[in-house]
């Protein structure tokens, strides 16, 4: 009997000890991230611009014309949420409010990224109406790019396409769903559903990887071309594009409850997951023949982890695998291989993202959207652990 009580006591103390270790690791990680983001905020303070990436000791800055401008403040809002530290609320607010002018831009399809990650998180966390008004105006600006004949929001105004739509554009719909909920006006939601349905029809291949760009004929909505812009070649699977699709259709299911979107998100995951390397951090393009001797795209990994944490919460067949993979991605990103040492990397949290390989731009560098989706994924993971 005494022997049994001793063993039980040992087990209890071992369990509580391992729990303490987990908590300690978790607290240390958060302290490290907080210190690094503080360094970043100090180094990149600027009245109108934010830091987009860091290369050869120099920051590439982004104004309200840049699709990435909302991420640094969004990262700070997430840090505020993770730590509860008022310092982050102040920092995030300063970095959000300076982007105020973006709400009137009608020449960008990226307003969801720009306004919802910054002002959207600000409103969600503070309830302050001044943020809400900006997101509503940004939603209004974004829907001016919707075309009835094509059934999509137009992506770029540059290039030779008559009406280009890129898979990334799925990420701008979440803000429009929010606008419908806040105003009660279904016009925004209808646009999301139309855009997602047309994209579902035309962007996906038989193996459920996706093309980056689909060019439409605005006269009749027919497809003119299917191409890449940031991937290796037209018929390759650009890494971040796959992650955008996964995330975008997971949100579509959340916001509509329509099972066809959940099916598509699962099928995208079925393409991606078996093609990930051992540490689950994807290569910049799934079809690069140089794999494994080519670049990872840490931003794609962070987006994928965040999306998988949400996808596994729904009634899907492979939920255990999705959760396991999301945890494995985060474990890799938390490690020295991908997470920067304090005071290095220009203060960005993560290293090794790829912006635009064909243009040789931002290759293997820290980029602000990787940090944003990394903290979002950490937040989602912590919520599950609670």
Q: From the CB of residue 384, how many other CB atoms can be counted at a distance below 10 Å?
A: 12
Considering only 52, 189, 212, 240, the residue that binds ligand GLY (CB under 6 A) is 240
Catalytic pick from 66, 110, 285, 371?
A: 110
Minimum Å gap between C-beta 126 and ligand GLY is 27
The CA distance from 31 to 277, in Å, is: 29
Q: How far is the CB of 355 from ligand GLY (least distance, A)?
A: 6
Distant-in-sequence, close-in-space partners of 196: CB < 8 Å, separation ≥ 6? 170, 173, 248, 249, 252, 261
Q: Which of 245, 219, 216 is nearest to 154 (CA)?
A: 216
Q: What is the DSSP letter of 165?
A: E
Instruction: Output the six-digit token pair for 156.
Output: 């770029």
- Residue 110 annotated as catalytic: yes
Please return the burial class of 83, using the count of CB atoms within 10 Å of its CB with bins 0-12, 13-18 and 19+: middle
Residue whose CB is less far from ligand GLY, 53 or 312:
53
Indicate the burial class of 268 (C-beta count within 10 angstroms; 0-12, 13-18, 19 or more): buried
Alpha helices in the chain (DSSP H): 2-44, 71-83, 86-97, 111, 121-126, 129-143, 173-183, 187-202, 239-256, 259-272, 298-311, 319-334, 368-385
Contact positions with ligand GLY (CB under 6 A) in 139-168: 168
Q: Which is nearer to ligand GLY, 137 or 299 (CB)?
A: 299
Q: Which is nearer to ligand GLY, 248 or 355 (CB)?
A: 355
Distance of closest approach, residue 242 Cβ to ligand GLY, in angstroms: 11
105 Cβ contact partners less than 8 Å away, ≥ 6 residues apart: 64, 65, 111, 141
Tell the smallest beta-carbon distance from residue 141 to ligand GLY (Å): 17
Shortest CB 168 distance to ligand GLY, Å: 4
Sketch the per residue contact string, 43 through 82, with ligand GLY: x for CB under 6 A, - otherwise.
------------------------x---------------
Q: For residues 122 and 354, which CB has a smaller minimum distance to ligand GLY in the complex?
A: 354
Q: What is the nearest approach in angstroms of ligand GLY to the Cβ of residue 298?
A: 13
Choice between 318 and 361, CB closer to ligand GLY: 361
Sign of CA dihedral 385, 112, 185, 218: negative
120 vs 355 by CB, closer to ligand GLY:
355
Exposure string for 16-51, b = 16+ CB within 10 A, e = fewer? eeeeeeeeeeeeeeeebbbebbbbbbeebeeeebbb
353 binds ligand GLY (CB under 6 A): no
Neighbouring residues of 160: CB distance < 8 A, sequence distance ≥ 6: none
Residue 230 binding ligand GLY, by CB under 6 A: yes
Catalytic residue among 168, 288, 297, 371: 168
End-to-end CA distance of the chain: 35
Which sequence positions are flagged as catalytic?
A: 110, 168
Q: What does the binding site for ligand GLY look like in residue numbers (CB under 6 A)?
A: 67, 168, 230, 240, 355
């Amino acid at each position: 009997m005494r022997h049994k009580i001793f063993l039980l006591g040992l087990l209890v103390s071992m369990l509580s000890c391992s729990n303490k270790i987990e908590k300690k690791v978790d607290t240390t990680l958060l302290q490290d991230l907080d210190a690094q983001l503080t360094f970043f905020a100090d180094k990149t303070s600027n009245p109108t611009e934010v830091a987009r990436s860091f290369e050869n000791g120099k920051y590439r800055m982004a104004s309200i014309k840049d699709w990435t401008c909302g991420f640094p403040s969004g990262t700070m809002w997430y840090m505020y949420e993770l730590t509860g530290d008022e310092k982050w609320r102040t920092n995030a607010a300063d970095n959000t409010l300076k982007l105020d002018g973006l709400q009137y831009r009608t020449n960008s399809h990226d307003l969801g990224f720009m306004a919802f990650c910054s002002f959207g998180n600000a409103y969600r966390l503070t309830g302050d109406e001044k943020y809400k008004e900006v997101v509503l105006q940004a939603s209004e600006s974004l829907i001016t790019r919707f075309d009835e004949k094509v059934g999509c929001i137009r992506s770029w105004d540059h290039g030779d396409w008559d009406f280009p739509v890129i898979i990334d554009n799925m990420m701008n719909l979440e803000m429009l769903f929010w606008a419908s909920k806040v105003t009660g006006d279904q016009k925004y939601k209808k646009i999301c559903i139309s855009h997602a349905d047309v994209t579902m029809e035309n962007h996906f291949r038989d193996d459920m990887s996706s093309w980056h760009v689909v060019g439409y004929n605005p006269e009749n909505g027919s497809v003119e071309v299917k191409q890449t812009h940031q991937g290796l070649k037209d018929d390759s699977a650009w890494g971040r594009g796959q992650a955008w699709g996964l995330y975008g259709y997971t949100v579509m299911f959340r916001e509509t409850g329509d099972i066809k979107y959940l099916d598509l998100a699962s099928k995208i995951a079925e393409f991606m997951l078996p093609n990930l390397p051992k540490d689950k951090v994807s290569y910049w393009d799934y079809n690069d023949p140089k794999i494994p001797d080519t670049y990872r795209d840490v931003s794609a990994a962070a987006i994928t982890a965040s999306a998988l944490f949400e996808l596994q919460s729904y009634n899907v067949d492979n939920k255990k695998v999705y959760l396991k993979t999301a945890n494995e991605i985060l474990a890799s990103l938390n490690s020295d291989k991908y997470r920067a040492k304090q005071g290095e990397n220009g203060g960005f949290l993560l290293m090794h993202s790829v912006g635009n390989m064909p243009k040789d731009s931002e290759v293997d560098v820290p980029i602000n959207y990787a940090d944003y989706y990394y903290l979002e994924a950490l937040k989602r993971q912590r919520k599950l652990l609670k």
